[in-house]
Amino acid sequence: MDLKLGKCPCGRFRQNPEHLLCSRCILEKATTNKRKGSWRNFGKETDHKVISNKPDLEKSSYAEVLKQQGKLQTLWSKNITDNFADKYGYLFCLSCKKSSKKGLFGIHAGHLYEKAEYWPLAAHPFNGAPQCSNCNVNQGGQQLEFRRAMIKEIGADIIAELEVLAETIARYQKSGVINVRARFVNIPFIEAEIKRIKSGDFFDTKKQMDNIRNYALNIPIESLRQLESL
């Protein structure tokens, strides 16, 4: 294994330099261990804890999590593309300016901060915009051009606030305040986000932050305030 280059034993690059496995191997290991009945022990190669202070999370099945994540992603993508589409249903890829309708090989809703790594921001209203399938899937998101275009379309102030939030989440994940792997089991957070979007509050960032505080943190909010005051 080449830790310096950030490679997984399978040969793929690791998305998170702190992990010893790439995201695909972690997912494969998780599903394999689930079948063996040792779901709670998957991915022990990393330093992150498989914990949550929500008592009902351990009872959640992996298949149910995937189902709920799919619902949330579909709702988020629809709101993003509907917000940018013209009256004929066409959208422009913010990275390469290609015009097309949404679809598997058309325009996707791409994330500025990748939903696997920054999972509390997976359904953030300003963490995504239209991208063609080539830029979003084959070109790794074209993040530099994508970010520049999002600043132009959405505004520098909003993107700056999103960057601060993403940096905070990354810091909390490193310190264990937010469990980096809780996205595999955190159905209450996913359901709260689905409810927020379905109720017509897609652009309500305050409610989105409330969901992060209530369902994504491994420690009580009072302890978090004490931590931030240090």
Helices (H), the chain: 23-35, 62-84, 133, 143-154, 156-175, 187-198, 205-211, 221-229
Task: Identify which has the larger pLDDT, 111 or 54.
Answer: 111
Length of the chain: 230
pLDDT digit string, tens, across residues 201-218: 999 989 999 998 888 887
13 forms bridges with which residues in the sheet?
Answer: 7
**Which string of DSSP letters, residue by residue, matches 133-194?**
HIIIIITTT-HHHHHHHHHHHH-HHHHHHHHHHHHHHHHHHHHTSB-TTGGGT-HHHHHHHH
Burial of 162 (0-12, 13-18, 19+ CB in 10 A): buried
Residue 219: pLDDT over 80: no
Q: Estimate the crossing angle of helix 143-154 against helix 156-175, to 10 degrees.
A: 130
Question: Tens digits of per-residue pLDDT, 83-94?
Answer: 888 888 889 898
Angstrom CA distances, 211 to 30, 47, 169, stand at: 26, 26, 14
The confidence score (pLDDT) of residue 61 equals: 67
Under the banding of pLDDT at 50, 70 and 90, the label for residue 106 is: confident
CA dist 129 and 14 (Å) reads: 25
State the pLDDT at residue 17: 62
pLDDT (tens digit per residue) in 17-48 = 666 667 667 666 654 544 444 334 434 443 33
Q: Tokens standing for 204?
A: 């309500």
DSSP 76: H
Inform me whether the pLDDT recorded for 196 exceeds 70.
yes
Please compute the mean of the pLDDT values over residues 120-138 and round it to a whole number.
90
Give pLDDT tens digits for 149-160: 999 988 999 999
Given this model, what pLDDT does residue 75 score? 94
Question: pLDDT: is 183 or 81 the higher one?
Answer: 81
Report the pLDDT value the prediction gives residue 34, as an integer from 0 to 100: 41
